[in-house]
Amino acid sequence: MNLKLLLILAISLLPMATLAQVSLETPANQSVVSGVGLVRGWACDASAIELSIDDGKYRVPMLYGGDRSDTADRCDNDGLNGFGTVVFWPNFGLGEHSAELIVDGVSVQSSNFIVESVSGVFVKGLSGGVAVPDFPNAGETSYLAWSEADQNFIVDYKAAKGEVKKKLTIDVGELQATAEFDLDPDIEYRFGGKIRVGGSENAHIFTLIDASGAEHSAGHGYGPNKATSIIPINQPNNSEVYRKVRITVYSKYTVNSDHTVSPLPSDVRTEFIITLKEGDFLQL
């Protein structure tokens, strides 16, 4: 009888012993995940690892043997204990999910997580960014930029240096593409522009928008590789405080008698990268 009890106790404690040598780090319990991300963690000793999502509706095999030197002492080995794989979280559906970590056929850890997304599918052609003031420290600003590859917002090094990019596309038959940038009233910007797209003649128009929402024409340029005049905005001696700048780009156009331009339907698909730089120039 005592031997039988010992066997039952040993079997019941097996997952707990295994759990002490395993950690599922992502998705963490009660976490929110989105975009393209990693299922990851570590295990001291394993032959096969998988993540079971929603009671086995999805089974995701893990690659095992990644360098996790931070676990070497705990596992008393060389530290090659990491496991993980890349997933597109919306593939599991938006909303709440459950996950079980299965190591060599034994369920050793579980978590509940939530999938959020700008869309339930992999989206293309989006761009944008946002400033996060007083982060990571008071008086400092961090910048988040949309990453198509990650399907998420990421900390953008260039944006952190005062640079934000947006991509515009004019498809065949379309007249124009437009981008708007929010302006920080405490930052001095300058904008100008050059267009260099395969030698085609392109045109662009700048519009400044003040705090009341009123729009102010701020110049235009047209012709191959045409540069606009450089116009500073948000300088202390300006009478207006501008909150936005809008850039409209044409890939085909006609020049009016007053030297302004009007769009014509594009006959080729054209892409533009627009960059707003703090204290520098907005370049097309």
What mean pLDDT is reported for the chain? 78
- pLDDT at 23 exceeding the cut of 50: yes
Residue 75 resides in a domain: yes
Q: What CATH number corresponds to the domain at position 74?
A: 2.60.40.10
Give the residue, 54 or 176, on which the prediction is more confident.
54
For residue 185, the model assigns a pLDDT of 61
3-state secondary structure 89-106: HHHHCCEEEEEEEEECCE
Residue 284 resides in a domain: no
- Considering the domain architecture, whether residues 239 and 264 belong to the same structural domain is answered as yes
- Considering the domain architecture, whether residues 30 and 136 belong to the same structural domain is answered as no
- Considering the domain architecture, whether residues 132 and 234 belong to the same structural domain is answered as no
Place of tokens 């978590």: 111
- Considering the domain architecture, whether residues 8 and 110 belong to the same structural domain is answered as yes
Number of domains in the chain: 3
DSSP letter (8 states) at residue 161: T
- Considering the domain architecture, whether residues 143 and 176 belong to the same structural domain is answered as no
Structure tokens at 196: 């260099």
Closest CA to 49 of 104, 97, 8, 88: 104
Residue 64 resides in a domain: yes
- pLDDT at 188 exceeding the cut of 90: no
- Considering the domain architecture, whether residues 100 and 143 belong to the same structural domain is answered as no
Residue 61 resides in a domain: yes
- Considering the domain architecture, whether residues 239 and 249 belong to the same structural domain is answered as yes
For residue 190, the model assigns a pLDDT of 52
For residue 229, the model assigns a pLDDT of 39
CA distance 221 to 14: 73
CA distance 2 to 33: 48
Q: What CATH number corresponds to the domain at position 271?
A: 2.60.120
Q: Please, which pLDDT band fits residue 278 given cuts at 50, 70 and 90?
A: low
Summarize pLDDT for 206-250 with one digit per residue, the tens. Answer: 777 877 888 877 767 665 544 443 444 444 445 566 777 787 888
Q: What's the full length of the chain, in residues?
A: 284
- Considering the domain architecture, whether residues 132 and 30 belong to the same structural domain is answered as no
CA distance 284 to 268: 18
- Considering the domain architecture, whether residues 138 and 211 belong to the same structural domain is answered as no
Q: Are 29 and 113 in contact (CB under 8 A)?
A: yes
SS3 259: coil
Domain boundary (115, 150, 175) is at 115
- Considering the domain architecture, whether residues 92 and 129 belong to the same structural domain is answered as no
- Considering the domain architecture, whether residues 183 and 229 belong to the same structural domain is answered as yes
Taking the mean position of all CA atoms in its chain, how far away is CA 75? 35
- Considering the domain architecture, whether residues 72 and 45 belong to the same structural domain is answered as yes
Residue 283 resides in a domain: no
Residue 203 resides in a domain: yes
Residue 282 resides in a domain: no
CA distance 148 to 166: 12
For residue 64, the model assigns a pLDDT of 97
Domain boundary (51, 82, 115) is at 115
Radius of gyration of the chain from its Cα atoms, rounded to whole angstroms: 27
Summarize pLDDT for 242-275 with one digit per residue, the tens. Answer: 777 787 888 888 888 877 778 888 888 877 776 6
For residue 267, the model assigns a pLDDT of 84
For residue 113, the model assigns a pLDDT of 98
Hey, which of 183-187, 193-197, 232-236, 252-256 has the most confident mean pLDDT?
Answer: 252-256
Closest CA to 262 of 162, 175, 192, 194: 175
Give me the mean pLDDT over the 57-68 stretch. Answer: 96
For residue 262, the model assigns a pLDDT of 84
Give me the mean pLDDT over the 50-58 stretch. Answer: 97
Percent of the chain with pLDDT over 90: 36
Summarize pLDDT for 93-126 with one digit per residue, the tens. Answer: 999 999 999 999 999 999 999 999 988 899 998 8
For residue 257, the model assigns a pLDDT of 84
- pLDDT at 9 exceeding the cut of 50: no
Residue 257 resides in a domain: yes
The residue range of the domain holding 203 is 163-277
Q: Please, which pLDDT band fits residue 52 given cuts at 50, 70 and 90?
A: very high
